[in-house]
Amino acid sequence: TRKEVPTPDITHKQIDVALDLLAQSKLALQKMGEEFQVDLPAGTIIRQLPPAGTSVREGKVVRVWISQGKENIEVPDVSNLPLRSAEFALRQANLVIGTKETKSSLEIEKGNIISQEPQAGAIVVKGSTINLIVSSGVPSSASRIVPDFRHKKLVDVSNWASSRNVEVKVIEDPE
């Protein structure tokens, strides 16, 4: 004796809106599952059964699958790995390789990863781009290697620079 009503279209709608639409038609909602959806925000209905427009009796349960939004993942550490291994690890993690810049390094073997951006451990959206800096090996003899002068006295820096004919420019941080 229950009246037949058309199932409203609740796909791509937020749960609260879907519940209101179903209540107006005297229908119920049952969550069947959740899935990651890049193009739908969390809490949005992905699909429904029975489909929109299907004639059903009042009180019928409409089953829905709900979006969890974009899937976030942790960036793996690919530092000091050979480039091919790093690319494989990033692809396995559903990440995209972006720029590959080369820099010389005294510590990292030629062809291995010096650094990555975003850094290892960062939480990013699945499919994000990871940029890599790859070692080109030891710098050429024409290159000048500058020591790390952080937390050193200015006189030490000036002595090092004058002995190598290098200009020193001092910029003071007001803070």
For the chain, report the end-to-end CA distance as a whole number of angstroms: 79
Residue 1 pLDDT more than 80? no
Question: What phi and psi, each to the nearest 5 degrees, are found at residue 63?
Answer: -90, 140
Of the two residues 15 and 141, the one the predictor is more confident about is 15
The model's pTM is: 0.58
Residues 29 and 58 sit within 8 Å (Cβ to Cβ)? no
